[in-house]
Amino acid sequence: MQQLEDIRELQLQLQRQRRLPPVAQPRPGPQPQARAAAAAPPLAPPLWTRRQTLTGGGAMAAALGLGMVGAWGRKGAWAEARAALGALPVPGLHAHAGAGGADTALAGANAGPRTISATLAARPSTIDLGGPVVQTWSYGGTVPGPLLRGRVGDTLQVAVRNHLPQATTVHWHGMAIPNRMDGVPNLTQQPIAPGAAMTYRFVLPHAGTYWYHPHVGMQADRGLYGPLIIDDPAEPGRYDAEFVVVLDDWLDGTGRTPDQALQQLTGGMDSMGGMDSMDMGQTQSGGMQMSMGGMAAMERMRSAALGGDAGDVDYPHYLANGRVPTAPQTLRARPGQRVRIRLLNAGADTAFRVALGGHRLTVTHSDGYPVRPVTVDSLLLSMGERYDVEVTLGDGAFPLVAEAEGKGGQALAVVRTGGGAAPRAGVRPAELRRRLLHLSDLDATPQAALPRQRVDRVHDLVLQGDMMSYRWTINGQSYDHLRPSDAMALPLRDGERVRLRFVNLSSMWHPMHVHGHTFQVRTPGSASGAGPRKDTVIVRPLETVVCDVAADNPGTWMAHCHNLYHSESGMMALLAYHN
């Protein structure tokens, strides 16, 4: 019965989008090939070869459930995939159209929508970060969690099993999916209790680089996060290889948990949803003292690019694909190859400034959506943001550095196309201090821009809070995680164009994120004024950022700060409309 309802919802969503035919009931039947072939869309002949490569690669990535994120050579995809099949003991993920191996997957290259099934087992885990070994929580024992990958129109079906001592959910960051799949506890679903399971199922609505993480308490500041990539066979791109680079700030298992770090910031005064009583007991006594320690750390953490305070938490480690910089992951390609690098900041309190030594970066996508390409030396990613960049690689070994903005440390991966010594862990390429990408540099491509429409209503979201009270609010209200109320939601109507103005009256920057929609930033400094499509945008102290949203996905949706310490302390609001 539940499944039937889900399918009906999927069909409704598809019909609303008018992009795809209604899907058949997803069933792991024995003839996926026949079903796929029957639904095959017309194929544009010039794209045949490229499309075959792309979709084949995507299917195999899905079929493998790559626990390790990193290099994905498209041309050598089949050989790598075959080699990796034996090397990866815990797939946990398969695409029905690709489950039979490379041949089936290739046959699926021109196929219709598939169902991609995955399992995410959230559980306590021992993780080696490349030296430091930590006790944390992860999906399936790897950090980041498995790469989930599909094509636009595929159905993603993910069984989430909760082996944690706390309730959990999974939020699919940046995805315009049905509200009840959004993963917000006590709002769009009941949280998944310890020992329980839930299956999320939705159609992948648009291409791009996305990610998943829990929306409960401080869980996302542990190892519970992973990338979700959606390919569009109609837009294969012009690149030879692809790297997925997931950045994170890390403290879990290094002497304190994220819950304890939050407790230190709040001075032990506030009660917190999602925190267990054991954590509470451990920090109660020294809370105020450590809060002052936190203040001292904050004095040190400053960033001109972020307009003041860089963050609230001093982390011992910064990770690229789950590795500390002294044991970096090596991303391999050949000299002269054009690579697409998908950058994702899964951190909780750290913006990363990214540069690739010896290279400039051509920014092609922000938060999944294409922008008019702009070439820079470095770019800043807030928590929750993604940027896709393209680079033509030189010959050698190059540092891909993600400096923890204003905090001193950094994450590192090595891009290797030839011989030469690996870069040192502390290497600081000159590109970090050259031309930095600015929001006003970015314009959506005409295809990605919202269609012109009169603005029907304007909502201000006034951001306030400070380190002393550590109470963070939107329009004067702190969000109640246990009892969220529709009554506090900002009203709008289905079909409207809504202008959101994020008005920051605090002395701290906030990465503001809206669920279920991708807004268009209005950037007065840009040539067209069109601005990029995004779902997460940096709002500096005393700055106002204006974003337009097409209300085309009814439900009750969050608009919140993606600093996990701020959001858990109340910096969340709701937008609600129904059809």
Residues that bind Cu ion in the complex, under the rule CB under 5 A: 510, 561, 563, 566
Q: How far is the CB of 565 from Cu ion (least distance, A)?
A: 8
Per DSSP bridges, beta strands 457-464 and 386-392 are: unpaired
Nearest to 440, CA basis, from 503, 514, 366, 513: 366
Q: How far is the CB of 328 from Cu ion (least distance, A)?
A: 30
Q: How far is the CB of 261 from Cu ion (least distance, A)?
A: 15
Pick the closer one to Cu ion by CB: 121 or 508: 508
Q: How far is the CB of 408 from Cu ion (least distance, A)?
A: 21
Q: How far is the CB of 566 from Cu ion (least distance, A)?
A: 3
Pick the closer one to Cu ion by CB: 143 or 537: 537
Nearest to 578, CA basis, from 556, 547, 546: 556
Q: Give CA–CA dist 461/571, Å, rounded.
A: 10
CA angle, corner 529, sides to 528 and 530, nearest 5?
Answer: 85
Pick the closer one to Cu ion by CB: 182 or 309: 309
Q: How far is the CB of 537 from Cu ion (least distance, A)?
A: 12
Look up residue 3 and give its amino acid.
Answer: Q
Q: Give CA–CA dist 369/365, Å, rounded.
A: 5
Instruction: Say how many Å lie between the first and final Cα of the chain, rounded.
Output: 23
Pick the closer one to Cu ion by CB: 384 or 532: 384
What tokens were used for 168? Answer: 């959990």
Q: How far is the CB of 562 from Cu ion (least distance, A)?
A: 7
* Count of beta carbons in the 10 Å neighbourhood of residue 386: 27
Nearest to 84, CA basis, from 65, 103, 100, 98: 65
Pick the closer one to Cu ion by CB: 114 or 566: 566
All residues at 6 or more sequence positions from 401 whose CB lies less than 8 Å from its CB, including other chains: 354, 355, 356, 357, 410, 411, 412, 427, 428, 429, 432
Pick the closer one to Cu ion by CB: 375 or 469: 469
Q: How far is the CB of 272 from Cu ion (least distance, A)?
A: 16
Q: How far is the CB of 374 from Cu ion (least distance, A)?
A: 27
Q: How far is the CB of 312 from Cu ion (least distance, A)?
A: 9
Task: Please answer whether residues 331 and 174 qualify as being in contact, where contact means their C-beta atoms are separated by less than 8 angstroms.
Answer: no
Nearest to 202, CA basis, from 217, 218, 189, 220: 189
Look up residue 548 and give its amino acid.
Answer: D
Q: Give CA–CA dist 230/261, Å, rounded.
A: 34
Q: Give CA–CA dist 4/12, Å, rounded.
A: 12
Pick the closer one to Cu ion by CB: 211 or 472: 472
Pick the closer one to Cu ion by CB: 58 or 258: 258
Q: Give CA–CA dist 489/215, Å, rounded.
A: 18
Pick the closer one to Cu ion by CB: 228 or 539: 539
Pick the closer one to Cu ion by CB: 161 or 566: 566
Task: Please answer whether residues 516 and 575 qualify as being in contact, where contact means their C-beta atoms are separated by less than 8 angstroms.
Answer: no
HEC per residue, 293-351: HHHHHHHHCEECCCCEECCCCCCCEEEECCECCCCCEEEECCCCCEEEEEEEECCCCCC
Q: Give CA–CA dist 554/577, Å, rounded.
A: 5
Q: Kindly calculate the radius of gyration of the chain based on its CA atoms and give it in whole angstroms.
A: 22
Q: How far is the CB of 471 from Cu ion (least distance, A)?
A: 12
Task: Please answer whether residues 266 and 260 qualify as being in contact, where contact means their C-beta atoms are separated by less than 8 angstroms.
Answer: no
Pick the closer one to Cu ion by CB: 208 or 511: 511
Token pair 């709701």 is at which residue? Answer: 574
Q: How far is the CB of 256 from Cu ion (least distance, A)?
A: 21
Give the 3-state secondary structure of residue 541: coil
Q: Give CA–CA dist 269/264, Å, rounded.
A: 9
Q: How far is the CB of 522 from Cu ion (least distance, A)?
A: 21
Pick the closer one to Cu ion by CB: 56 or 511: 511
Q: How far is the CB of 571 from Cu ion (least distance, A)?
A: 5
Nearest to 318, CA basis, from 387, 228, 413: 413
What tokens were used for 37? Answer: 């072939």
Pick the closer one to Cu ion by CB: 155 or 563: 563
Task: Please answer whether residues 72 and 237 qualify as being in contact, where contact means their C-beta atoms are separated by less than 8 angstroms.
Answer: no
Pick the closer one to Cu ion by CB: 430 or 542: 542
Nearest to 349, CA basis, from 425, 252, 463, 429: 252
The DSSP code sequence of 444-503 is B-TTTSPPP----EEEEEEEE--TTT---EETTB---SSS--GGGSEE--TT-EEEEEEE
